[in-house]
Structure 1
Amino acid sequence: MLGAALDAQELQAALGDSEKRYADAARASNDGLWEWDLTGGPAWISDRARSLLGLGASALPALDELGWAHPDDQAIVSTALGQALSRRDEPVRIEFRADRGGDHRWLQLTAVGTAEGTAPVSRLVCSVADVHQRRLLEEQLREAAMFDHVTGLPNRRLFLDRLTSVLNQIRRRPSRSCAVLFLDLDGFKLVNDSLGHLHGDELLGVVARRLTAEIRSTDTAARFGGDEFAVLLVDPDEGDLAMIAGRIQQRVREPVLIEGQQVSVTASVGITVSGAQVREAEALLREADAAMYHAKATDRGSVAFFDRTMHAEAGDRLRLLNELRIALTEEQFVVHYQPIVPLDGSPVTHYEALVRWQHPERGLLLPGAFLPALESGPGMVELGTWILDQVGAQIATWRAAGHDASVAVNLSHREFWNPGLAESVARTLRRHGLSAHNLVLEITETVMLTDVEAARRVMSDLRTIGVRLSIDDFGTGQSSLHTLREFAVDVLKIDGGFVRGMESDPQLAELVTVILELGRALGLDVVAECVETPAQERLLRSMGCSKAQGWLYGKAMPGAEAGTMLGTPGRSASPERAAAAT
């Protein structure tokens, strides 16, 4: 009896130690624990489990009472507990929401049915862990993977999922149909570069809300990144597609007030329909994208419906972009120089730099063949930086030969609004040991007037360096005398279209006269572009124009050839060219 008593005491002590370790482990893991004895014995639940499940201090629900689970999750909890009862010693794990008086919290339930020997399950041991923060994070990640964080619209992935689902329905029911509209915002990059990315995102948000307001709840509007959007129309009337696209375009181009300034963009739209032969979602999207590029190339802000010929255009465009990436890496570009000639016979000292692409298969390509493709991406800034460095090196070469020259370099809108422009210019001057007067930077009126205040700051930074500034294609924009005075530019370049037509059109001749008088009044140099005939030169001289450039004096040529004209009288620099032009 004494031995039995000592054994019982030792067993009780061991049991106490085991329960303490069990409780300590539960506290360490921060899990809630409870047990059901299926033979009628006492049930037990920890304080942590009561807290997680939202139970009262004395509550211990029966096995078939699941009021502590969210109504939508009670079925899966019941199923899990049933599986634990039927699968001896095999844990069953699920996640569910606890219903805590309106406060729903995600928990992880682990249930194990146990028994002695080979007997049926007699006890159900459960634990609950708080996984609410992890579930919230997973939901955020899932949303980030499916939705655009700037506009809140579905992204490309979710759009394709929904398009795929609709196409599967169309395969089952051929009477159904869908259409995809692909939109690209015209002018957004200019706004984004001039006003900054935060304000660009604000504009994108406005466009997204307008798109959503123009479509039905069964349709989907999505943003693919940058300034590209897509719209999925389910079971549309194909005869109304052009009208729907026009209505969307009208809403998009309505002005938006940003930072006290009215900003507006237009949208080029490509449309394709599912048709009798249902394609895959990616194929349908490529068709709408090809139609959009066709619309953009034909007339910005227009609408185009897809046809098969656009596949070839899309292939050519993709091939061109790939070739341009290689060209930038391998420096396949060259800079040529066109003389700007004094009409009073003074020596030639000034040129305009014009880029060419020395294509390995197609030969020397003019800017019109490749610059439009580059302007839509960061490659334009990369090319501009390279051109600036090449021009600096060429001027240094001429100076080493005893000729002091200046060169005008055109800036695209992406280059002008690039935050590193002023430093890039200053670095080029330092690297090649040049003076600021050796460089003239040309911008267009359109770029300058996108954001007058921001443009003034950029131009002030450039003027601080000492470089001169020129307005290219003057007369084609909307600048005013007041604006010109504020910008403090040095040179006006008369658009070549005015020069070519002034002999036959008195109004154009009068306009050229006005620009020349404006330049004199503001103390600016005025250069006439695209002078091709001696008659045009004579007319310009009679109007008081002092400088000109064009084929009459020479086409753009490599640096070494252009250098031979330095210091020679402008009007007699190339008499054979003048004779040929005549």
Structure 2
Amino acid sequence: MICQEDIFMFSLQRIEQAILREEFVPYYQPQVNVLQQKIVGVEALVRWQHPELGLLAPLFFLPFAETTGVISEIDGLVLKKACQDIHELHRLGFGMSVAVNLSASHFNHKYLPRMIAEVLEETGIDPCSLVLELTEGVMIHDVQQAVRVMREVQELGVKIYLDDFGRGYSNLFWLLHFPFNGVKVDRCFIQSSTMDAKNYEVLLSILDLSRRLNLEVILEGVETEQQLQFCGQQGYGVAQGYLFSYPLTIIGLEKRFWLERLQEGLLVA
């Protein structure tokens, strides 16, 4: 039996081959408009489709990939494939955005805006449908360059979100000094908001601040009906979590959209 350690060590030997063979693929977790109960976006989450071991979660390969810098190549594969998939769904009449995570090494590359422009042109996706998700650590080393790169990417029509806001050493500096279009509130707040009074108040403060700064908001980690009700009460209509769906293949995502149309009465079963 192969244990986790064996898989990780094996991945160290195979990861470059896997990049060449395009074995890293995106799975899509829906982002749902709470009031409309409708998918309005997805987050592309990388998985390794290993030919012998099956589908591997990021914990088996991302630590090595980030340490060696090959994570930027994986980012590029996932970004291109996600844009291709979403463009095809747009062609079928399913409108949505797609959010893709970028690593620190990839984001700090001075040619990132050019690479994004090339992907947009090659895949044909509407730039307004693409969201790049960044964590604070991406921008810590060179603030001026980070702002410059963000501006260049946004000039293409692409949005940029601050991911996992509220985790670790989050503070107002990031929202006040970087030109984000939106934030994704870390799951720890919504999952503890009904049990921990302090977290509840912090969450309300984050939502109020985001509204005042005209930032779009996505609440992560929604897993219960009570949490869903909270989202609706606060007037923030977009949420993401296992209550709606686990990450799906592109085929599974397309099936979800066809099901939505059936439920809306737009198709005859």
Q: Tell me whether the two structures share a fold, i.e. TM-score over 0.5.
A: yes
RMSD: 2.4
Residue type matched to 1:448 in 2?
M
- Unaligned 5+ runs, structure 1: 1-311, 574-582
Query: How far off is 1:528 after superposition?
Result: 0.8
SS at match of 1:349: strand
In 2, the alpha carbon distance for the partners of 1:327 and 1:405 equals 29
Residue of structure 2 aligned with 1:380, choices 59, 68, 71: 71
Residue type matched to 1:552 in 2?
L
Query: How far off is 1:504 after superposition?
Result: 1.4
SS at match of 1:428: helix
Residue of structure 1 aligned with 2:157, choices 450, 466, 491: 466
1:336 equivalent to 2:27? Answer yes
Residue matched to 1:435 = 126
In 2, the alpha carbon distance for the partners of 1:461 and 1:443 equals 15
Residue of structure 2 aligned with 1:526, choices 198, 204, 217: 217
Query: How far off is 1:477 after superposition?
Result: 4.4
1:515 equivalent to 2:187? Answer no
Residue matched to 1:539 = 230
In 1, the alpha carbon distance for the partners of 2:137 and 2:201 equals 23
1:498 equivalent to 2:189? Answer yes
SS at match of 2:244: coil
1:448 equivalent to 2:127? Answer no
Residue of structure 2 aligned with 1:366, choices 38, 57, 68: 57
Residue type matched to 1:564 in 2?
K
Structure 1 residues 483 and 326: alpha-carbon distance in aligned structure 2, compared to 1, 3 A threshold: closer
Query: How far off is 1:346 after superposition?
Result: 5.5
Q: Bigger relative contact order, structure 1 or 2, given CA contacts below 8 A and separation 6+?
A: 2
Does the CA-based 8 Å contact 2:136-2:162 persist in structure 1? yes
In 2, the alpha carbon distance for the partners of 1:385 and 1:441 equals 12
Residue matched to 2:93 = 402
Structure 1 residues 369 and 315: alpha-carbon distance in aligned structure 2, compared to 1, 3 A threshold: closer
Structure 1 residues 504 and 403: alpha-carbon distance in aligned structure 2, compared to 1, 3 A threshold: same
Residue type matched to 2:214 in 1?
G
- TM-superposition CA deviations, 1:294-347 (whole Å, max 9, x none): xxxxxxxxxxxxxxxxxx999865432112122112221221111100111163
Does the CA-based 8 Å contact 1:473-1:496 persist in structure 2? yes
Does the CA-based 8 Å contact 1:337-1:558 persist in structure 2? yes
Does the CA-based 8 Å contact 1:470-1:490 persist in structure 2? yes
Residue matched to 2:180 = 489
SS at match of 1:553: coil
* Runs of 4+ that moved beyond 6 A: 312-316, 567-570
Q: For residues 64-75 of structure 1, what are the structure 2 equivalents within 5 Å?
A: none
In 2, the alpha carbon distance for the partners of 1:412 and 1:529 equals 19
Does the CA-based 8 Å contact 1:347-1:568 persist in structure 2? no
Q: For residues 69-148 of structure 1, what are the structure 2 equivalents within 5 Å?
A: none
Residue type matched to 1:458 in 2?
V
In 1, the alpha carbon distance for the partners of 2:68 and 2:221 equals 29
Residue matched to 2:267 = none
Q: For residues 150-165 of structure 1, what are the structure 2 equivalents within 5 Å?
A: none
In 2, the alpha carbon distance for the partners of 1:355 and 1:315 equals 20
In 1, the alpha carbon distance for the partners of 2:7 and 2:60 equals 12
Aligned residues: 261
In 2, the alpha carbon distance for the partners of 1:466 and 1:322 equals 39
Q: For residues 97-496 of structure 1, what are the structure 2 equivalents within 5 Å?
A: 318-345=9-36, 347-496=38-187
Does the CA-based 8 Å contact 1:446-1:477 persist in structure 2? no
Does the CA-based 8 Å contact 2:44-2:100 persist in structure 1? yes
Does the CA-based 8 Å contact 1:348-1:567 persist in structure 2? no
Does the CA-based 8 Å contact 1:449-1:479 persist in structure 2? no
**Larger Rg belongs to:** 1
Structure 1 residues 430 and 536: alpha-carbon distance in aligned structure 2, compared to 1, 3 A threshold: same
In 2, the alpha carbon distance for the partners of 1:466 and 1:472 equals 19
Residue type matched to 1:409 in 2?
V
Does the CA-based 8 Å contact 1:528-1:549 persist in structure 2? yes
In 2, the alpha carbon distance for the partners of 1:314 and 1:348 equals 37
SS at match of 2:38: coil
- Unaligned 5+ runs, structure 2: 265-269
SS at match of 2:256: coil
Structure 1 residues 317 and 346: alpha-carbon distance in aligned structure 2, compared to 1, 3 A threshold: closer
Query: How far off is 1:446 after superposition?
Result: 2.1
